Structure formats: C-alpha cells, structure tokens
Amino acid sequence: MTSAQAAASAVPGPLRFAQRLIAWQRAYGRHDLPWQASREPYRVWLSEIMLQQTQVRVVQAYYDRFLQRFPTVGDLAAASIDDVLAQWSGLGYYRRARYLHLCAQQVWTRHAGEFPRTQRELQLLAGIGRSTAAAIAAFCFGERSAILDGNVKRVLGRAFALPARATQAAQQRALWELAETLLPEEHLAAYTQGLMDLGSTVCKPRNPQCAACPFAIDCQARLAQHRAAALSDAGASIKPHARPAGTPVRKAQHWVLLWAEDVQAPEPRVWLERRNTQGIWPGLWSLPQFHSVTEALRRAALLGMVREQIELACATHALTHLDLQLQPLLVRLDRVSAAQEHAGQWYTLGAALDLGLPAPIRRLLQSRSRSQAPVQHADLS
C-alpha cells in the first residue's frame, strides 16, 4: 500500500471520502453558478480558465458578457486578439486570454470545432493543464479524472495531513496519487464540483468554516491542532501548526502615465502603446509608463509640441502581490507625423475603449469620454 493509499484510509466514518463529499455537495454545494447550467465543453472550459486565480464573484460579472460576444468556440477563434483582450479587461492574468484565444483556434483547426473528450487529449491544447483538463473531462464527458487546483490541494492536505516530502515535486506527486486514489467510480461531476465548492466556501485559506465541513470529525489537520492545543494547555511546549503562513509582504511601484492628447484633432485623441508580452498587463494597449515626470515629458516631446501639462492625482491599483501607484500626466500637444514611427498609435476615445486595456486605464479614459471636458483629476479607482 502506498503512502497516499494509506492516507486515504486514515479518515474514518460511515461514509468514505468520496461518498461523504458527494452527499455534502448535493445538499450544501453551489448549484446556481451560470456555467453550471450547461455541460457544453466550450462553456465549461471558459469558466475553468476564468476561475484560475480569480474569485467566483468576479468571474460572474464577466462570464455571460464574454459569451454574448463570443457565443461559440468558432466565434472566439475568428476574433482578433485585441477584441478578446478588450472583453477580458479587468479580469487580470492576461496570459490566460491569449492562451484562450490560441486554444480556441486549435480546437477549430485541429478538431473541427469539437473539444477532445479525454484528459490526455485536452492537455495538448494551449493553456490547459492537467487539473483543468480533468475538470473538463469529468464535467462534460464523465471521465474518471482527478483535479488538483489550489483549493483541492488545501482540502486534501488538511483532511489527510500527508507527510512532508524532500522536494516540492515529490510532494506534488504524492498529492496527485492521493487525488486519484480517492476518485469514485460514479457521480464524477458531483464529486469534482464538491471538491471545488468545499475548498472555495468552507475549507478557506484563513478562518476555515470547520463546523460546516463534512470531514470535521476526522480532519487530520483539525485533530492535530486540537491535540497541540491540549498539550499547550497542559504546559507542554508544542505549538499548533495548522494555521497557514502569513501573506507575502506587498511591494509597491510608482508609475507616471503619459496621457498625451492631440489638441489639433476635432475630437479627443490619445496616444497608446502596446505593452510587452512579458510582465504586467502583457500585450495590452496602455498609456506609456515612466519612472518620472521628466522621462514622460521627454517622450511627449517626440510626439509633438507640448502646449499644456497637468500632473493629476496619484491613485493606487492593487495587483496580487503588488500595489501600483499610478500618476497620470496629462499633456496636450500639437502632434507630429513622425510620432507614428514609435511603437504606438493615436486613437479616438471610442476606438481606444474597444481595445484590450488594463482596467485602471480603461476607467481613466471612460471618465474622459463621459465628460468630454478638460480633466482636473484622474478616475483610476
């Protein structure tokens, strides 16, 4: 018997892990999420990609709107990447949108618009890893495949308390082995959804709702914490270790955003540049970014004759582990044609808002578009 199989038998009770989880999901799990109304692979795949490192409540605001614009995988495959990024704007982790677009094209050209039906084949598509492929195969085709996203790792790690391995890769292999050992023979969709629901709504990273958990009486992490607490009360030096480590220290960066406007144009035009495909906001169109006002003005001088400059109020935009302190510098100028030689382009506000823009840049331009008047402050919140 392997260590994972031994761990799988360590949780006692009248129902085995999968049976208990399925029963819990049917009684207390989530059943009204928009992507649960269909087992059509395109819709399930879209939801799985959107949900990677993104909360359900955030995805709900984008999912239906994205489907309205791209109702089928063929529509998504035929779209331009700028159109896809525009619909994705605000969801973050923009590489997902690029892989989403590429994957749709692969499904359309390699598989005649039909998603493969097995985990192994799904993993060959762009942006689909082992766990995502398993979720699609289980939900859409009933394949007996194990998932192991961050939520599932936490649920299994706490419930079974696998012993530590020498390397992270070995620990990952042990978790995959355990996940596969626990798979039921039937009701794969309910089981898979149950793991996702339990990790998202009950077995949270902080302040887990143990009283609502179907494994509360025999969760190994919870029992270990209680034993450690009892020893501590008795005067022992052992401390509980079940609490997750603290969050990483957040970093901050200060950016000056060059908001150049062409005063000669009959309607407001803004200068945008496409960002590098690496780093923050990869491949999106944005206001050029600089370390200082002086650097920004040097770039503005290459775009035209500066007539007016206004330093707008700084606002903070929070990323996962980084706070961006954004200070727009509004510069009105008489543009010169040579500016087209730079890695950017002049856009009317309407055309700019149809591009893939970072969320704070979109809000800034939307505020200008609504007012069509001289800007006195920035709206980046």
* Crossing angle for the helix pair 220-233 and 150-160, to the nearest 10 degrees: 50
48 counts as catalytic: yes
User: What b/e string do you get for 258-288 counting C-beta neighbours within 10 Å, with b at 16 or more?
Assistant: bbbbbeeeeebbbbbbbbeeeebbbbbbbbb
Cα gap 272→269, rounded to integer Å: 10
- The conformation of residue 337, written as its DSSP 8-state character, comes to G
| Helix (H) or strand (E) segment spanning residue 345 | strand 344-348
303 and 271 Cβ atoms separated by less than 8 Å = yes
Cα gap 236→364, rounded to integer Å: 58
Cα gap 26→24, rounded to integer Å: 5
Cα gap 287→273, rounded to integer Å: 6
Question: Coil, helix or strand for 308?
Answer: strand
Q: Distances in Å between the alpha carbon of 364 and those of 330, 354, 380? A: 11, 14, 6
Q: What is the 3-state secondary structure (H, E, C) of 248-307?
A: CCCEEEEEEEEEEEECCCCCCEEEEEECCCCCCCCCCEECCEECCHHHHHHHHHHHEEEE
Q: Please give the radius of gyration of the chain, using alpha carbons only, rounded to the nearest integer.
A: 25
Length of the chain as a residue count: 381
Catalytic, out of 48, 180, 308, 311: 48
Q: DSSP characters for 43-80? A: HHHHHHHHHTTS-HHHHHHHHHHHHHH--SHHHHHHS-
Catalytic residues: 48
